[in-house]
């Protein structure tokens, strides 16, 4: 099996293991803003206040070879992640701030 190239994805982080992936940073940012709008609208009609900052992360995936593919199948996606860096935060009011450097393996 030939190894793939390293891949970069962007994600909206809901919780440690709960996220939604996108091809570009702008797609992730737009989706986070839309999510915050929906949450604010729900709050305005009586839902519990779920509005919070939504981090957007750049996730680099290691090249997949046979060993990493097996790790991915048996141990989950974390085995293929080279790095995860929060690059922006969409605030509840819709403003976007640059995140301070935070790197996770």
- Higher pLDDT residue, 2 or 79? 79
Residue 6, Cα to own-chain centre: how many angstroms? 17
Within-domain flag for 2:
no
User: What pTM did the predictor assign?
Assistant: 0.73
Within-domain flag for 69:
yes
pLDDT in tens, 53-69: 889 999 998 888 888 88
Within-domain flag for 68:
yes
Q: What six digits make up the tokens of 86?
A: 């929060």
Residue 105 scores a pLDDT above 50: no
Q: How far apart are CA 8 and CA 17, in angstroms?
A: 18
Residue 47 scores a pLDDT above 50: yes
Residue 14 scores a pLDDT above 70: yes
Total domains, the chain: 1
Within-domain flag for 1:
no
Domain around 80:
7-104
């Amino acid at each position: 099996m030939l190894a793939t190239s390293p891949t970069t994805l962007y994600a909206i982080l809901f919780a440690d293991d709960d996220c939604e992936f996108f091809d570009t940073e702008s797609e992730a940012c737009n989706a986070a803003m839309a999510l915050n709008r929906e949450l604010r609208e729900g709050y305005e009609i009586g839902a519990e206040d779920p509005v919070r900052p939504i981090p957007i992360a750049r996730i680099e995936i290691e090249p997949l070879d046979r060993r990493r593919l097996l790790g991915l199948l048996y141990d989950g996606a974390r085995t293929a992640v080279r790095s995860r860096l929060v690059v922006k935060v969409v605030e509840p009011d819709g403003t976007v701030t640059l995140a301070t450097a935070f790197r996770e393996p």
